[in-house]
Structure 1
């Protein structure tokens, strides 16, 4: 049964083909601006049959049945226009019927119109179409675009089976019109529908980032470099400066990729500055009142050395800087490390160290006094080849801030302590932190430091020579100024004290005194005007004995002196001439030279108070004693105290007393403070 049935089907198939007609072959299908379809075909061979018509079938979906949309009765006609919206993915097929519509040819082709779809994003237009199913003469799709005058221009060609393309509009707003064509076999052309769209560019350009933010070490401005935006419609770049609030600057031109930011008080020498960049296109946004602009991305900070610890005395320093954070690069985009540049004086800067990207501290040592060092630390990016400069730090170890003047005004001996006080005038604007007093016994001898003063440093001060023996020798003095490193940054002139010495002749009551000259006024354009020799006797009584410019000795006769203390002292004052360049008119004072004499005491044994001017009172004659420790008392025969005085010049006049013998007691002190007692009797005669 199965074999018999198979033979029957084959027989029927042979009979159909025996009477079948030749098929028309579709070659092109074109859509016009109204979406009407024009189909072209190749006329079939004439078999001599009675031609009735060409039947054109259409279905809008492969799941549906075909329906006749056109009947062509002219055998020689090879194209037909079918009205309707055929810019869809429907299918056409064409057959011929003959012999009174009895015999129908096979459907050789099932074809679709080329339907062109369109979409856009920003200025980029995306196009896509289907394959019609027709044979092509050259297997090429041609893409056309129309201008606003209706002129079509071929944009590009695409080899089968590629069915997609992209185009970029020029204007921010543009109504575009495209079509696709393919040449069919025999010379006809298949055209797609005309795809149109009103393209509006409302997309911002692709983001870009800074490559480098480098400090101009001369003025604190920031030199910026950035990557070009990949968006073809980039019109320029917006620069953002983040201070108290955001500030901006605008750079026009897609190829403008560097700029020196100088506005709004930017100063990367004083602080780290933060900036970023964002591209914008030429399409003005009427809502935001600005061009389409991308958001800024990485915000760069300039490299800033914010800590500089320097030990001037050891020649060491340390730098520290903030590390980059995620999204906030420092100096360059991809930090590979840091190069430390140092310029010694005016020489070419040299790289003295290369640090890793994890380092944030740098130490340097061996800095030499007298030099000037300038440091710049540069983050670098090995990927982009960029290097950014930091702010510069200058360490100047050059000329010391030495005092403009350091001057010994005078040397004055304190007669109570016996110490020399060196009076100094100094420049307080210098780096002085202490002064040292140096002393020598001779000009050529080696000086030694004997005192240091480091408190209450004013422009005028005194240094006391606590270890000197000013009563035994003259001294040469010099004052040194020291900085914080205990280095000498200034020296005064050398000044010599005035020294007084002498001899005494107790028997003849003659003292001989000599003194040395003072040295030190000459550096202030003055000299010693005169030397004053003073004698100090009872209490604080002073007598000027001589005043002369060039006399350095004196002989003093004490015979005519009444009631002086047990010590006869002398000192010399060297008085400066006028015209001192510092405005002083000082005097240097020598040591105090004293001679001790034994007391002289004469006690009368009688007196006559008769007012004749001779021996009218009982008055002991004393000399070379301490007048501050003197006491004379008188007693009568019964031991009654009748008179008392502490004045060496006051005697007992015997008032209210009768002639007779009276007792006295005298107490006094010599120059060394030793107490001496005298007692006896005196006769009052009337």
Structure 2
């Protein structure tokens, strides 16, 4: 506490004690002149009201030490006089207080405030904060008791400090003429007493000027916030808090940066929404804060590709049907479908601009490959209006293989592949008269099964199958759909079992008159039977499975004996069956 403050405190408490004494009343106290100020060695006061008795004089006490002792400097007996000139006070600071000398026996004498001969002490600016486009200036009171007002000034470019107003009540001022959204505003404050004495100018405070960039760039989704540092606190800025409000919503804290930082990246802007931002400076080791101007703008950005999912690759009628999803508000310049074989890299299938208006779900049929030979993988790539490329997940077809042997058709298939899908299991179907018959449901770890056929039924010589993967695919945020991914159609052909008789008797008795091989399953794709005599001469030839040898060469019956045969059968799957041997002709 400075000397002046201590003296004020001393006599202030004395006045309070005297005021509260039970034997004294307000009307009986001997009130002092209201000490206003000291200016150019002249003391000025307002005359007191004394009701307890006649006033004799106004007494002026002085000291060059704030703590005293104080001696009577003068008695002013002209009771209409409200000033006193201290003649030749010399160097140094003087301290004064006033009392009223009145004929009020037994009544307490109250001293005035103690004032010094110095100018008033300055007030302390606490904050300058932007509110609703105006600037609110807050300050702490001057410790000088003679201060009756505060002069508020603002710096004006090209002019200097310009007085805005003098505030005689309170410690807040609203500047409605400032432009805190266009420039950093700097404020000054001076204390003033009734004599017109002004304090030195307190340290200035400057507002925070916030600016936002990249709002007008449709290809940048983040906003760069930059601001001027808050100036004024001796202890500095502890941190800056960044607040945002979208579409007139309430302010929400978007982030915090250190007090030395003056930039922040806001990265969640959405097209068409109005965003407002404001910065709040927090005083270091203090309880003050100051807000910047508010910056608002509507984000006019190109909506990017946020969802890109290759949902399905399924085989239908020997072709691969693709299904993919993207967000239909994206600005896509072009997309590319890519395909890869089991042993080849991805290559472009087609590149083209999307059909507008954009659809969330899209399909394409790939008829340029044979899905029965291997598994094929697919993905989609997009290029948006800002040149940003995105690649989807990969989805692959299921490749099914079927093999028949010894009355068992063995099925094997490649696993379902889709990074966005969750496999539930596999269903296996067999075609019967063109209609699919489900053979069973298998868990996600099963990739093979067997189907037993009836060897006595020629219609089961060949059976065709397909597999369907039951899946749940995530095609967007919180969007999951059920899909089936079908394999190619794979057919299993049982190896034909051939029976060749070793003798026949073409005597027209209706029993064993024709030599012909017998097949267990159906009609072959190609057939050849040739008969030779003992000298190697060709005596019979047929490409018709139903046509056997009747023992004739042309129309000539041949003699009994051994003849050689050559049999060649080609099955539908390309398997060759070749037999050769002897057949005996008997009559």
Provide TM-score, normalisation by structure 1. 0.42
Structure number with greater Rg is 1
Higher RCO (Cα < 8 Å, 6 or more apart): 2
